[in-house]
Chain A
Amino acid sequence: MRVRSRIRSPFALVLLTTALAGAACNQDVRQLEDLPPNTPASGDATAGTWRMIVLTGPTQFAVPAPADVSSAAYRAELDSIKAAQAGLTDTQREFIQYWSAGGVQRWNQILRELVARADLPPAPRDNGTYPAPDAENPFADPQFPFSNPPYAARAYSYVSLAQFEALKVAWHYKYLYNRPSPSRVDGGIQALMPITDLPAYPSEDAVLSGVTAELLKLLFPTSVEEITRKAAEQRDAALLSGKATASDIAAGLALGKAVAPVFAARAAADGMRTAGGTPALWQGMANAATARGETPWKSLEDPPRPPMLPAFGHVRAWMMTPTDIVNERPPAPPSTSSSQMQQETAEVKNAVENLTRDQLAIVYKWADGVNTLTPPGHWNDIAAEYVRDAHWSEVRSARAYALLNMALHDAAVGCWDVKFTYFNPRPSQLDPSIRTVTGLPNFPSYTSGHSTFSASAATVLSYLFPSGGSYFEAEKDEAAISRLYGGIHYRADIEVGKDHGKRIGGYTVKFAREDGAD
């Protein structure tokens, strides 16, 4: 064997080296929004008096008086913190850093992830039918839940509101007992996260860990391991950082776990269990539309899928009574046989066939379809940076998410009521030549969920963060029109949905102006 030639120029080597340099390509992707340690500007000492929504008042839950800071038992707790701080591991330092951003912020981030993880519709069976997720058998295929937009809106609202109410109770007892945080009592204990004058008993971190974990285990049972681990880490972070002692934490955890069942009981009876309806209900809705002389909505999936939560419009809202839901219901959409409907259908087709790249980007920015944090989650995502930059106390941060998510839940109830009252077909049903550039939601068209959600959210966020008002309005309009660009909504769905959502958000803002926090 003879080598007849060899490398004559370094050229090939240069090429290979260039290719290898690709290995160094920066692949760093930011995973979560940047949440630095939060130092609240105010302790919100009066938060224990803020108006309750579900609970009757702070004294609904007894929190016994803590041992005195001069007691031997308390001194022993301080000593154990010192010992633990002397041997901190890197992992412990990491989760102290993580939770120092604030428990409300972190749990909202975690909740968005849980929603996205569970946001997958059931796959059809071979016989063309669809199984329903079963809360009693959550790990089966399909897993429970299918965290679609109404389910997600409801989940965000239960978690946020339960946190808010539990923290108001905690604040009442904090300022009743006024026990300082351990690093304020003993100079030998380091403050490894921002620690303020806020009384430590009961620990707000432990309250949050307890109430949140209990509700999340019911709402997202397949993530139970992650939920309980995060909750334990949050309590450990409070202890190891010098923010709370073992008794502060025990009292907080007990309070959080006592508040959660109140919300779990409400959730069990709020109408969600029957929101999926029955074949007879679905058929009745179609028949009613036909009787009105309208073309009824039908599923364009193959095999046809039952509509998404057709009775969600009867789920209990937070700030609206069932009568309010009916009273705020917009009038019927243009008749499916009207010339206005023809024009609006043509407008959708024209839009989707002539999209600019910017318009397409708007469609994808707001797609929020399967496997996402959903439109309600998108608005939580928008809120997160405003809440971060406000440097609020935990209880005021919780209030922001509670208000936002109550409005989003009420928007889901109101919008679903409209959708299944009118049972109006999608553009691609009236004109099968309309092809969509985003997934076609499997429920009636009128009104647009994105528009209703976004308008309710923008209304509440504009109240909470007036300086962001024009930004929220612009985002709302963009989210709404994205559905026309996507080929899945008529203009009437969008305009009426925005108006409806704004009125729904108004109910929450009206409450907020009077709850004692402003």
Chain B
Amino acid sequence: MVQVVRARLRAKSLLALVLAVSGAPARAQTIEDGLMMPRNNLCTGFLYTHDRWEKYWEGSLKRINGNIGTITTETLSWMGNYGVTDRLNVIAMVPYVKTSASQGVLHGMKGFQDITVAAKYHLLETDFTKHGTLRTIVVATAGAPLTDYTPDFMPLSIGSASNSLSGRLTLTFHARKGWFIHGSGGYTWRGKVTLDREAYFTENRLFLSDEVAMPDVFSYTLSAGYLMPRLHVPISFSQQITRGGGDIRRQDMPFVSNRMNFQKVEALAMYYLPNPKNLSVRVAGTYAVNGRNVGQSTTITAGLLYTFHF
């Protein structure tokens, strides 16, 4: 009896999935979204991100700094998302990052940053009302530096050089007519960072060590949008809250374990080209509306992703 019910449920959910993705099989893109890649499909491609800021928050004081001008960070990421099953996706990302300052004498930095590998699991799908379904996704993510880059040259370091583990819970409500709302929250634990020096001062204390404890990070995203067969258009609000770390002091340099907080708004469009088939284009713009110990970034992302069906 149980077996029969299960089989029926499986057939139904499969049907729902087929309906949802008909004409556009390559939806699943990111660790945070509420979309899944079907079994044996691989979505892969490159994303280019251009991030720049002139104003930044020194602690909570918003300012500019003539010794750096505008900081530009360009990132070219390879990403892949493979459907191990319809319910389990494995996502990997490898970014190459290049930084530069428009003024002053400081040298930019570049190199491969951190590899990210995530397992995204479609936990539950619920008929919430007759108007739509509620989907629950959990994601576990691990990150590790790919190269021995230094995190001790903020804001021009290409990353924080810490190992990390994250857990994420995502809820997406899909209305039958294509509208959706989405919420995703994640908690990240970060490993100690090792510097090339034996002493540093942060949080009003001197540390005579080359190791820096990294505070945990909580982040969430709320988004709403429209999901059509070929177009996925969400707008979102996201916030990062670092659970510890010191402020940048007056006229100080930033430090890797600073309390880096921000609130950002984002508009995203993903379009699945009719021809060539299986190719999708992704364009996004993000703006930091508030922050602490971070730059007020404007970020443009453009990507091309291709889906293989095995």
A residues adjacent to B (C-beta < 8 A): 1-8, 11-12, 15-16, 18-23, 25-33, 109, 112-113, 116-117, 119-124, 141-142, 300-303, 352, 357, 360-367, 369-373, 377-378, 381, 428, 434-437, 439-440, 487
Contact = CB atoms under 8 A, between A and B. Distances in A.
B138 A12 contact: yes
Category for how many chain B residues contact A: 35 or more
Given A4-B127, A365-B196, A370 B104 contact: no
Nearest to B108: A435
Contacts of A372: 199-201
Given A6-B124, A12-B121, A364-B152, A435 B106 contact: yes
A5 B191 contact: no
B266 interface: no
23 contacts: A1-B126, A1-B128, A2-B127, A3-B126, A7-B124, A8-B87, A18-B140, A19-B165, A19-B189, A22-B165, A29-B207, A30-B208, A113-B206, A120-B252, A123-B251, A141-B250, A301-B67, A364-B150, A366-B197, A371-B252, A372-B200, A373-B199, A487-B107
A31 B209 contact: yes
Interface string B91-123: 000000000000111111000000000010101
A484 B117 CA distance: 39
A122 B9 CA distance: 68
Interface string B236-256: 000000000000011111010
B123 to A, nearest CB: 6
Contacts of A19: 140-141, 165-167, 189
A18 B198 CA distance: 32
A15 B67 contact: no
A198 to B, nearest CB: 28
B144 interface: no
Contacts of B195: 364
Contacts of A487: 105, 107
B252 A32 contact: no
B13 interface: yes
Contact of A11 (B88, B189, B191, B201): B88
B208 A12 contact: no
B197 A434 contact: no
Contacts of B164: 22
Nearest to A2: B127
A2 B133 CA distance: 10
Contact of A29 (B104, B153, B192): B192
Contact of B211 (A2, A29, A363, A365): A29
B201 A1 contact: no
Contacts of B199: 112, 116, 372-373, 377-378, 381
B289 interface: no
B205 interface: yes
A11 B207 contact: no
B19 interface: no
Contacts of B129: 1
Interface in B2-19: 9-10, 12-13
B208 A25 contact: no
A171 to B, nearest CB: 30
Nearest to A366: B197
A117 B200 CA distance: 10
B105 A435 contact: yes
Nearest to B188: A22
Nearest to A143: B250
Nearest to B255: A371
